[in-house]
Amino acid sequence: MGDVVATIKLMPESPDVDLEKMKEDIMASIPEGTEFHKIEEEPIAFGLVALNVMVVVGDAEGGTEPAEENFAKIEGVNTVEVTDVRRLM
């Protein structure tokens, strides 16, 4: 078994969502067994900015599910989607 780095895109409900507060909530909701790597902002359109959260998890099936479930509970998050998974060498 190895580790993978997964990129999880969090789309806010509106451009009015406080991204700094959302980032704090993301950091507080990283589950055990998941290592936080970084957060990048991705401009979408009309002032809407998505957050791409990169985490390191085990490569077992369902490895990102605990993080996805926690992120979906954050206030102001509309959708959560795994956009990329890459094996660490």
- Measured CA to CA, the distance from residue 59 to residue 63 in angstroms comes to 6
Residue 66 banded pLDDT, cuts 50, 70, 90: very high
| Average pLDDT score over residue span 19-29 | 96
- pLDDT at position 59 is 81
In sequence order, which residues have a C-beta less than 8 Å from that of residue 59 and are 6 or more positions away?
1, 2, 3, 4, 87
Q: What is the pLDDT of residues 55-65, one digit of tens each?
A: 999 887 778 89
Q: What does CATH list as the number for 3-87?
A: 3.30.70.60
Domain positions in the chain are: 3-87
In this predicted structure, the answer to whether residue 15 has a pLDDT above a threshold of 80 is yes
